Amino acid sequence: MNQIKVFSPATISNVACGFDVLGFPIYSIGDEMIVKKTKKKSLIITDITGYSVPYDINKNVSTIAAKAMIESLNPNCGFDFKINKKIIPGSGIGSSGSSAAASVYAINKLLDSPLNENELISFAMRGEVVSSISEHADNVSPAILGGIVMIKSLSPLEVIKLPTPKDLYCFVINPKIEIKTSFSRKILPNKVKLKDTTKQVSTFGSFIHALHTEDYELIGRSLNDYLIEKHRKKLIPLYDEVKSIAIKQGALGCSISGSGPSIFALTKGVEKANEINRLVTELYKTSGNDFSTYVSKISEKGVSTMSN
Amino acid sequence: MNQIKVFSPATISNVACGFDVLGFPIYSIGDEMIVKKTKKKSLIITDITGYSVPYDINKNVSTIAAKAMIESLNPNCGFDFKINKKIIPGSGIGSSGSSAAASVYAINKLLDSPLNENELISFAMRGEVVSSISEHADNVSPAILGGIVMIKSLSPLEVIKLPTPKDLYCFVINPKIEIKTSFSRKILPNKVKLKDTTKQVSTFGSFIHALHTEDYELIGRSLNDYLIEKHRKKLIPLYDEVKSIAIKQGALGCSISGSGPSIFALTKGVEKANEINRLVTELYKTSGNDFSTYVSKISEKGVSTMSN
C-alpha cells in the first residue's frame, strides 16, 4: 500500500463533568486526508482544501505529529499529505486532534501497523500541543479509539475506553467565531474551591457508573460542570439560551464542547437531538453569527480508512 | 417488638480518591446498641459502656439523630438507649456515623420500618453534623447500606451503591490519638489547584470503572489522593512508614481513613492484609502510641439486628 485516504472524526471533549479527561467522537463531521509514501525521506503537504491551515510542516499539527512518529520509527520513505480540512480550527470540536489522529493513523497503516493505539495517541498528542498550552489527550484519544474515552493519566499515558450506551446521540452547534484553546485556557483560574472539586469528582464518578449501568437518567444528573463552564460561557454568544432550549427539550445535559465556542447536548434517541437542532438553528439565525450544527450518534468508531 | 439490639459497623471514608464522597464498612469493629420503646414520649440514654460519650441527649450523636427522626415521625412512644461504644471517637473510622446509623436503624425497626434507607441516611446525617463542621454522608451511608457507597450529592441526597469486588480486604490501624474532624477539616485549604482537581477527577473515575470491571490492578492505580493526604498525614505518627510497608507488601492502595488518624490499606485477598497487619503492628509498637489494628473483608452488610 502506497497511499491511503482516511476520515478522522470531530470530537467533543470535557463533556461537562470531565474537564481534560473525557471525550467522544461525532461522525457527522471530520477531517479527510490522503497520505502517500514518497521516495524522499521527508514530509510535504502538497494540497490543503477546506479551512486554511499552514503548509509549513513545522506548523501544521498533522505533520508535527507525523514528524515525531517517523523520528521514532525511521522508515525508509517520506510522506506526502493532501488535507481536506473540514473542521474549522478553534471550533472546540477537536479540529487539531482530528488532523493529528488522521496523520498518525495513516502513516501507521502505510507502514504495516508497527504501533498500537496507545502509541498512536502519544504521537498524535505531540501534534496537539502546538494548538494548546499544555499536552492533552481528550480529543486525540476518542478520535483514534472511538467511543467514550477517559484519560486516566497523561504520564504515563493511560486511556480507558468506557461503555457507550446504545441510544446516546449528540447535538452540536459550532458558532463560527474562533476561540483559541490557548486563550480559553488562560481565562481559567489556577485554583478552584475544594467544595467544587468534591462536586466535580462525584458527578464524574456517577457518570462513569451511569455508563456501566446504562442509566440514562443518571447520565442526565451527572452531566454537570462546577469548574469551567462559568468562566468560558461568557465567550459564547447565546450560550444560556441554547442550553435552556436543550434542557427544555429533554436533553440529558448541555455544556461547552472542548474550549468552545461549540456547544453540545446529549440526548437519549435521535428525535430529541433533531428537535433541539431545529429550535437552536431558529434561535441562532437571529444572532448575526454564522454557524453550523450537527447531529450524530455517539459512535464506537474512531479514525478509519475511506475507500478512494 | 419493644426492644432491639443492633450492630453498626465502623466505616472507612474518603478512600484516597473519594474525598467526602466515598466509603465502605468494615465489620471487625462497630458500635452495639440496645434500644427499647418507652411509654414516656422522650429519649433517654440509660447506659454507656466502652468509650466515653455524652449522656446528654442533645450532645450524643445517636439521640440527636433519633430526635430529628421522631420529630418527623411523631411516634406514640419514647426510646431508651443502652450504648456499647466500641469505636473510639475521633478515630477516623466513622465513630459518630456508626452510632447515628445504629440509632436510626433501631428506631425504624421498632416502628415497623416507616422509612427507607435514603431517609435513614438523611436522619443519621443530622446526628453526624455535631461532630463535624459540615454535613457529610460518607460514613453513615456505607454504615446503613453496606458495600462500597458513593455520595452523588448531598442536596438532594443521592447515594449510589457500587459493585464490591469479592476479594477485597481492608487493613486498618487506629493509633489512639484523637484528631477531631472539625480540626482536621480546618487544616485543609479552601482552594486547590485545578491541575490536582483534574487528577482527582480522573483517578476517581477510573476507580469506579475498576469496580465495575473487577479490575484489581486498576483499583490499585486509582487509589490516589492529590488533595488531602499531604495536609493531614502530618498529624499521624509514622504515616509514611506504614504506607511504605503496605505498598511494599502489595497493597492496592493505602491512605488516611476519614479525617485520620486511622490509616487503611486495601488488598486483594486476606493474606496480604494479614501480613501488613503483622508488620505494621511490629513497627507501631516502637512508636510509643497505643493503637488497635483490624483486618476485614469489605462487606456488603450494613447495620444489622443482633440476636440478644
Q: What is the pLDDT of residues B166-183, one digit of tens each?
A: 999 999 999 998 777 778
A240: which strand partners? none
- What DSSP character marks residue A130? G
Give, for B161, the enclosing helix (H) or strand (E). strand B157-161
Q: Is B227 on the interface with A (CB under 8 A)?
A: yes
For the stretch B111-132, pLDDT in tens is: 999 999 999 999 999 887 776 6
- Tell me the percentage of chain B whose pLDDT exceeds 70: 98
Which of A206, A221, A228 to mutate against chain B (most B CBs within 10 Å)?
A206
Least confident interval from A44-48, A287-291, B141-145: A287-291
Give, for A306, the enclosing helix (H) or strand (E). strand A304-306
CA distances from B89 to B60, B79, B119, B190, B302 (A): 11, 23, 25, 25, 20
pLDDT band at B185 (very low <50, low <70, confident <90, very high): confident
Q: Is B156 on the interface with A (CB under 8 A)?
A: no
d(CA B199, CA B228): 13
d(CA B26, CA B302): 9
Q: Closest Cα of chain A to B21: distance in Å? A: 6
pLDDT of A276 reads 98
- Mean pLDDT of the A147-152 span: 97
C-alpha cell at B96: 459518630
d(CA A305, CA B16): 43
Do residues B71 and B121 both lie within one domain?
yes
Residue A236 neighbours by CB distance under 10 Å:
23
CB distance B139 to B94 below 8 Å = yes
Q: Is A74 exposed, middle or buried (0-12, 13-18, 19+ CB in 10 A)?
A: exposed
> Per the CB < 8 Å rule, is B202 touching A162?
no
Do residues A204 and A236 both lie within one domain?
yes
Chain B residues whose CB is inside 8 A of the A221 CB are 152, 158
Q: Give the chain A residue nearest B20 (alpha carbons).
A: A198
Do residues B82 and B202 both lie within one domain?
no
For the stretch B278-296, pLDDT in tens is: 999 999 999 889 999 999 9
Q: Give the chain B residue nearest A151 (alpha carbons).
A: B202
Do residues B151 and B174 both lie within one domain?
no
Q: Is B188 on the interface with A (CB under 8 A)?
A: yes
Torsion of CA A133, A138, A142, A148, to 10 degrees: -160
Nearest to A192 among B21, B191, B199 (CB): B191
pLDDT of B140 reads 96
Q: Is B79 on the interface with A (CB under 8 A)?
A: no
What ranges in B111-215 are assigned the alpha helix state H? 117-128, 140-145, 181-186, 194-213
- Tell me the percentage of chain A whose pLDDT exceeds 70: 98
> Per the CB < 8 Å rule, is B199 touching A153?
yes
For the stretch A167-185, pLDDT in tens is: 999 999 999 987 777 788 8
Residue B186 in this model has a pLDDT that exceeds 90:
no
Chain B residues whose CB is inside 8 A of the A218 CB are 160
A44: which strand partners? A80
Do residues B173 and B51 both lie within one domain?
no
Evaluate if pTM is beyond 0.90: yes
Q: Is A181 on the interface with B (CB under 8 A)?
A: no
pLDDT of A71 reads 95
d(CA A30, CA A20): 21
What domain count does chain A have?
2
CATH number of the domain bearing residue B57? 3.30.230.10
Q: Give the chain B residue nearest A154 (alpha carbons).
A: B199
- Mean pLDDT of the B95-109 span: 97
Do residues A152 and A184 both lie within one domain?
no
Which of A190, A197, A204, A207 to mutate against chain B (most B CBs within 10 Å)?
A197
For residue B63, the enclosing domain spans 3-162+300-306
Q: Tell me the residue type at A304.
A: S
B82: which strand partners? B34, B47
The residue whose grid cell reads 476485614 is B296
pLDDT of A132 reads 61
Residue B52 in this model has a pLDDT that exceeds 60:
yes
Work out the mean pLDDT of chain B and round it to a whole number: 95
Residue B308 in this model has a pLDDT that exceeds 70:
no
DSSP-assigned states of every residue in A41-57? SSEEEEEEEES-----T
Q: State the count of interchain CB pairs (< 8 A) between A and B.
A: 117
Chain B residues whose CB is inside 8 A of the A212 CB are 208-209, 212
Contacts of B75 by beta carbon, 8 Å cutoff, 6+ apart = B41, B111
Q: Closest Cα of chain A to B197: distance in Å? A: 6
Nearest to A194 among B162, B188, B198 (CB): B188
d(CA B167, CA A172): 44
C-alpha cell at B64: 440527636
Q: Closest Cα of chain A to B150: distance in Å? A: 8
CB distance B140 to B300 below 8 Å = no
pLDDT of B24 reads 98
CB distance B154 to B112 below 8 Å = no
- Tell me the percentage of chain B whose pLDDT exceeds 90: 88
- Mean pLDDT of the A214-220 span: 98
Active site residue B128: yes
pLDDT of B247 reads 98
Nearest to B197 among A200, A207, A221 (CB): A200
pLDDT of B182 reads 77
Chain B residues whose CB is inside 8 A of the A14 CB are none
- Mean pLDDT of the B54-61 span: 96
> Per the CB < 8 Å rule, is A198 touching B162?
no
Do residues B273 and B126 both lie within one domain?
no
Do residues B76 and B173 both lie within one domain?
no
Residue A5 in this model has a pLDDT that exceeds 70:
yes
pLDDT of A272 reads 98
For the stretch B72-97, pLDDT in tens is: 999 999 999 999 999 998 899 999 99
Q: Closest Cα of chain B to A155: distance in Å? A: 11
Which of B208, B219, B224, B230 to mutate against chain A (most A CBs within 10 Å)?
B208
pLDDT band at B298 (very low <50, low <70, confident <90, very high): very high
Residue B133 in this model has a pLDDT that exceeds 60:
no
Q: Tell me the residue type at B225.
A: D
The residue whose grid cell reads 446503613 is B144
pLDDT of A142 reads 98
Taking chain A, what is the end-to-end CA distance rounded to the nearest angstrom?
13
The candidate with the shortest Cα–Cα distance to B131, out of B80, B176, B64, B45, is B64
pLDDT of A153 reads 93
For the stretch A182-191, pLDDT in tens is: 788 889 999 9
Is residue A24 helix, strand or coil? strand
Strands (E), B233-285: 253-256, 263-268
Chain A residues whose CB is inside 8 A of the B141 CB are none
d(CA A228, CA B194): 10
Chain B residues whose CB is inside 8 A of the A21 CB are 198, 201-202, 205
For the stretch A88-145, pLDDT in tens is: 988 999 999 999 999 999 999 999 999 999 999 999 998 877 766 566 899 999 999 9
pLDDT of A108 reads 98
CATH number of the domain bearing residue A266? 3.30.70.890
CB distance A86 to A74 below 8 Å = no
Q: How many helices (H) and strands (E) does chain A have?
A: 10, 12
pLDDT of B15 reads 97
> Per the CB < 8 Å rule, is A192 touching B197?
yes
Which of A151, A186, A208, A229 to mutate against chain B (most B CBs within 10 Å)?
A208
Q: Give the chain B residue nearest A160 (alpha carbons).
A: B206
> Per the CB < 8 Å rule, is B193 touching A190?
yes
Q: Is A64 on the interface with B (CB under 8 A)?
A: no
CB distance A138 to A20 below 8 Å = yes
What is the set of active-site residues of A? 128, 181
d(CA A34, CA A48): 10
pLDDT of B193 reads 97
pLDDT of B266 reads 98
d(CA B99, CA B61): 7
Catalogue the long-range contacts made by A43-47 (C-beta closer than 8 Å, 24 or more residues apart). Answer: A43/A67, A43/A70, A43/A78, A43/A79, A43/A81, A44/A78, A44/A79, A44/A80, A44/A81, A45/A80, A45/A81, A45/A82, A45/A83, A46/A80, A46/A81, A46/A82, A47/A81, A47/A82, A47/A83
Q: Closest Cα of chain A to B116: distance in Å? A: 20
Do residues A152 and A77 both lie within one domain?
yes
- What DSSP character marks residue B18? -
B4: which strand partners? B35
Do residues A91 and A190 both lie within one domain?
no
Print the SS3 string covering A145-202.
Answer: HCCCEEEEEECCEEEEECCCCCCEEEEEEEECCCCCHHHHHHCCCCEEEHHHHHHHHH
Nearest to A190 among B194, B208, B212 (CB): B194
Report the Cα B133 to chain-centroid distance in Å.
Answer: 16
Contacts of B214 by beta carbon, 8 Å cutoff, 6+ apart = B163, B165, B166
pLDDT of B127 reads 83
The residue whose grid cell reads 419514647 is B78
For the stretch B147-159, pLDDT in tens is: 999 999 998 999 9
Do residues A21 and A76 both lie within one domain?
yes
pLDDT of A226 reads 97
- Mean pLDDT of the A245-264 span: 97
Do residues B114 and B147 both lie within one domain?
yes
